[in-house]
Structure 1
């Protein structure tokens, strides 16, 4: 259609020479709803000048470069499963023009409670939508027999051999260096995988990493993300500390256990977790009372000794009403704009 572009997000930025395949899994979720795609827009370059009206589903984190806000006036987004990281979110919401852009496109669907709170404090209408990756069953469901256990970055900051993957040059020349303190958890880990998963399960499982070397292009990374989704769809069990592994597994009906590696570590990430993990089976060494207190509600939590590893617990189904609502909103958004130009 001559008067309307349908766009999809793309990623070209890296984190010290690494890319997170979870970012591409999020793109796969938005792609499901697009009848066609004739434009790709860089996630951290939403202010790029557009020639005509362009619609896009913005799910995820788009505030890594606050200086590139607000998005171009010809961009008409559906903000759904939106996330504001506390530090960069404050910068975004300190500028009047950014608040005006968000108000123009409200209500904003947020994937976590903290983002809802930050937006509402600025007078922006917002609601908890959950994560769009919970809709991935639309395209990636499988009827194949389930087999195999996949362990995906089980201890969050301690993926398999992450030190070897870092680009030293990019580490040295990529501020802020304070992010490098994350490496202390790799060099001096507080816990190990076998604290959560029996050694015999670990030995037989396939190990997968979501952080990979940036040695390929956007299209190839999208293919890798889709290949992973097909693997997860057929798995007997997935054990992970990656949100964008766990929630796709919920969508695909694959039993999944999300590892919380200690309350001290997770407090640093609770802005991302509140709301997200309410619908996932959590594997933790902590007392259930402590976790319930941390989340402010009773959650689905298991100690490793409670798990029957041959018959893992089935996923909660409480996420499904959020997933159904997400599907409805995305389809309505596309239909509304397509009909408007007929």
Structure 2
């Protein structure tokens, strides 16, 4: 049997963060699967088992995936928003939920929805589904010694200035936007370096969902400052983490003491346990030898 891992052609390192979470459960990686081109036949021969977590789908692509891909469908987000640059194109969810697409999801389900909006969308189409949360919640808790730094991930300049006024710790500014690093291995290494920084930080303040959720898993106090207007996609951050709206952060009207950062809420833990259990069961099932009748074919 073979195992596949999602790879990407985007500038968002949050995609690689999600693949880092998935790779932890794989015994090895035999094939890289381009998330936005899953209709392509994977390298090698025979079935390729893969965890298909993430945000679907951006560029024009065919759906469903190639029949050799044997998926575990969880932590999926289906976007219902039209492209601003290509307003004539149907939104991604509509392109995935054609009769053929719905049949494939039903046959390979139940589908784990990363957010409640995706779960409700799947339920309306009568596709077996459950609210899984995001796989990055299963990243291992950090035992690293904390550095006296507060990480600002993709905070707007005015918010960074406000942050510096409210903490005596050194503020380190980072971004998940990377249009320079190329190649799967290099981008995975860059994303891992960011995760290592978050795991050692005194606290993190971020606009990014896939900075917020890993920090919950690491036990790093995190404050989510949502600037993206798509609240449906960002729902896990609102539900699971400390939140300060952008204007409230600037004015100081939020309940998160940067001098003594509070512990994170704990309501993400049941999601993480169920995700880990599903992934382990999937890999265990995929690793079993095929039945004798299949070997005889």
Query: What range is the shorter-chain TM-score in?
Result: 0.7 to 0.9
Long gaps (5+) in structure 1: 161-191, 288-301
Matched with 1:80 is: 74
Normalization by structure 1: what TM-score?
A: 0.76
- The 1:58–1:196 alpha-carbon spacing in structure 2 relative to 1, beyond 3 Å, is farther
Q: How many residues align?
A: 277
Matched with 2:223 is: 257
Counterpart CA distance in 2 for 1:79 and 1:312 is 35
TM-superposed CA distance for 1:279, in Å, is 0.9
Written as runs of structure 1 = structure 2, the 5 A alignment for 1:117-128 is 117-128=120-131
Kindly indicate whether the alpha-carbon contact (under 8 Å) linking 2:135 and 2:272 is maintained by their aligned counterparts in 1: yes
Query: Are 1:315 and 2:264 an aligned pair?
Result: yes
Q: Greater shift after overlay, 144-153 or 234-243?
A: 144-153
Query: Are 1:44 and 2:36 an aligned pair?
Result: yes
Counterpart CA distance in 1 for 2:255 and 2:231 is 25
More helix, by proportion: 1
Matched with 1:134 is: 137
Of residues 204, 211, 227, the one that matches 2:177 is 211
- The 1:107–1:340 alpha-carbon spacing in structure 2 relative to 1, beyond 3 Å, is farther
Query: Are 1:69 and 2:18 an aligned pair?
Result: no
- The 1:132–1:32 alpha-carbon spacing in structure 2 relative to 1, beyond 3 Å, is same
Kindly indicate whether the alpha-carbon contact (under 8 Å) linking 1:112 and 1:276 is maintained by their aligned counterparts in 2: no
Q: Secondary structure at the match of 1:80?
A: coil
Of residues 194, 203, 206, the one that matches 1:228 is 194
- The 1:332–1:304 alpha-carbon spacing in structure 2 relative to 1, beyond 3 Å, is same
Kindly indicate whether the alpha-carbon contact (under 8 Å) linking 2:152 and 2:160 is maintained by their aligned counterparts in 1: no
Kindly indicate whether the alpha-carbon contact (under 8 Å) linking 1:196 and 1:283 is maintained by their aligned counterparts in 2: no
Cα deviation, 1:60-99, whole Å, max 9, x if unaligned, reads 1132235321101111110110010112112211x21111
TM-superposed CA distance for 1:203, in Å, is 8.7
Counterpart CA distance in 2 for 1:250 and 1:286 is 24
Matched with 1:103 is: 106
Kindly indicate whether the alpha-carbon contact (under 8 Å) linking 1:108 and 1:125 is maintained by their aligned counterparts in 2: yes
Q: Secondary structure at the match of 2:17?
A: helix
Counterpart CA distance in 2 for 1:97 and 1:143 is 47
Cα deviation, 1:22-55, whole Å, max 9, x if unaligned, reads 1111100000000111111111111112431110
Long gaps (5+) in structure 2: 81-90, 292-297
TM-superposed CA distance for 1:196, in Å, is 5.3
Matched with 1:183 is: none
Matched with 1:5 is: 2
Q: Which has the higher contact order (CA 8 A, sep 6+)?
A: 1
Counterpart CA distance in 1 for 2:103 and 2:178 is 37
Written as runs of structure 1 = structure 2, the 5 A alignment for 1:150-299 is 150-155=151-156, 192-193=158-159, 197-199=163-165, 201=167, 204-261=170-227, 266=228, 268-284=229-245
Kindly indicate whether the alpha-carbon contact (under 8 Å) linking 2:79 and 2:92 is maintained by their aligned counterparts in 1: yes
Counterpart CA distance in 2 for 1:21 and 1:227 is 11
TM-superposed CA distance for 1:256, in Å, is 0.3
Cα deviation, 1:296-341, whole Å, max 9, x if unaligned, reads xxxxxx9545432210121001100110111000000000111143
Kindly indicate whether the alpha-carbon contact (under 8 Å) linking 2:56 and 2:92 is maintained by their aligned counterparts in 1: no
- The 1:286–1:199 alpha-carbon spacing in structure 2 relative to 1, beyond 3 Å, is closer
Of residues 50, 61, 71, the one that matches 1:56 is 50
